[in-house]
Copies of this chain bind each other. A is one copy, B any other.
Amino acid sequence: MMEDHIFYDCATAPSPRRARIFIAEKGLDIPTVQVDLRNKEQLGEAYRAINPRCTVPALKLPGGQVLGDNASIARYLEEIRPDPPLMGRDPVEKAVIAEWNAIAESDGLLAMAEIIRNSLPGMKGRALTGPKDYDQIPELAERGKARIGHFFDLLNDRLSKQAYLGGEAFSVADITAYVVIDFAGWVKLVPGENHEALNRWYDAVAARPSAKV
């Protein structure tokens, strides 16, 4: 139990789920505060004082400093709790995992965010995360659907050659891609029967205890 840290979470949102799975894979237990995104608590004064970027996840450190995104939280936890490694064991593996995590973010998570934020009525004026409001652009939602289709193909191709995205070991890149696939299910975008390797990988990741958190 890491009593001297506080994890700011939202149980229903994809981004903090990435950190939640990472924490579970590390075998860590961190006191958690739920931030109510549905009621825009992240934009209120209290949370803004914690994370001025108004996003979850965030992690408050013993010194009071706050890490405000998945990049920083994963890097910090990997450093203070190296086992099991989730970001690679040697220079090349570390690099490949960083690359596939970035691909899952840009081609997967960002495309999904573009779909959700530019189409749901409840997201009106909230086309991007953060303290500033931006109008919805419906064409982005449409484009996002095409991108997710390409993302499934890309993952399937990669996973037909190796067990996990970063190589032979499960890593943070798998966490990101897995969260994207469940997120895509919100709008009924699911891998097809032809995505055999992707489906096999998905089932393996979903069977890990960390996937239940």
Tell me, rounded to whole Å, the shortest Cβ–Cβ distance linking A28 to chain B. Answer: 14
Copies of the chain in the assembly: 2
Contact string, A57-89, partner B, CB cutoff 8 A, digits 1/0? 000010101011101111110011000000000
Interface of A is mostly: helix
In A93-131, the 8 Å CB interface with B consists of: 94-96, 98-99, 101-103, 107, 127-128, 130
Q: When the two chains form their complex, are residues B140 and A92 in contact, meaning their CB atoms are under 8 A apart?
A: no
Since A69-B102, A137-B137 are in contact, a sample of 15 more A-B pairs with Cβ atoms closer than 8 Å, ordered by chain A residue number, is A67-B99, A68-B99, A69-B99, A71-B98, A71-B101, A72-B96, A72-B99, A72-B102, A73-B95, A75-B98, A79-B91, A79-B94, A80-B91, A107-B130, A132-B146
